[in-house]
Amino acid sequence: MAERRRGTELENALLEAAWDELAENGYAGFTMDAVALRAGTSRPVLYRRWNDRHELVRAAIGRALDRDRPEIPDTGSLRGDVLTLMRELNAGRAQLTTVLSIHLAGYYQETGTSPADLRGAFAKGGPTRSDVLFTRAAERGEIKLEQVTERMKTLPFDLLRHEFLLTFAPVPDEMLVEIVDTLFLPLVRP
C-alpha cells in the first residue's frame, strides 16, 4: 500500500497534475475531475485547497513560473546578459508561453482577464530582471539609463514571446542573436 502524500508533497503533486492537464488539454478540457484523476486523488482534496478551477489554474501557473524562473545573468556586457537570459527563457518557456496565451483563451474570456493580467498577478516585488540588467549596463557605461524606455527594455523578450506564439517551439539561436544585435542593441546604445 502506497503511503499517503501530505502537505507540500501533496500540493506539489496536485499543482504538477494541474499544469500537465493545462498543457495537454488546454483550459477547455481542464476540470477538477481530470486533475484529481491525474494526481491519483479525489475532488474533495482539490476543493480543500482551491475553491474552483480558476484558482487552481492560477496556482498551477504560479508554480510553473516559479519553477522555471531563470537566474539573472552577469556576463559583463548587456549583450551577453540579454542573450543569456533569452537563451534560458527559450529553453524553458516555449510551452509556458503557449499555455498562457493559447490554451487559456477560455479562462481569459470567463474571467475577463488577459495574459498581461495573469503575468502581472505573479510579478515579484522589487526590481525586475531587465531593471537589474540595464542598471548594470549603465554602471559599465554601455547605455544611458535615462534614454532607455520600458518598451526598449522589453523588446527582445516581447519578440521572443512573439516567435513562441508563431511556432509553438523554441526559437533558433541565430534568431536570438539577430534580435539582440540587429534590433535591440542599436536602440539602447548611445
Range in 30-34, 42-46, 154-158, 165-169 the model is least confident about: 165-169
Domain with CATH 1.10.10.60 in the chain: 7-64
More confident position, 117 or 163: 163
More confident position, 170 or 103: 170
13 pLDDT above the threshold of 70: yes
Model pTM score = 0.79
pLDDT score, position 33: 95
Q: Are the C-beta atoms of 96 and 20 separated by less than 8 Å? A: no
Average pLDDT over residues 148-177: 93
pLDDT score, position 4: 75
CATH superfamily of 7-64: Homeodomain-like (1.10.10.60)
Average pLDDT over residues 105-118: 87
pLDDT score, position 92: 81
- pLDDT-based confidence at residue 65 (cuts at 50, 70, 90): confident
Looking at the chain, list the stretches that DSSP marks H as alpha helix, in order from N- to C-terminal side.
Answer: 7-25, 32-39, 43-47, 53-67, 78-92, 94-98, 105-111, 115-121, 129-139, 150-167, 173-178, 185-188
Contacts of 29 (CB under 8 A, 6+ apart): 21
16 pLDDT above the threshold of 90: yes
Q: For 131-161, how does the pLDDT look when each residue is reduced to its tens digit (9 = 90+)? A: 899 999 999 999 999 999 999 999 999 999 8
pLDDT score, position 1: 45
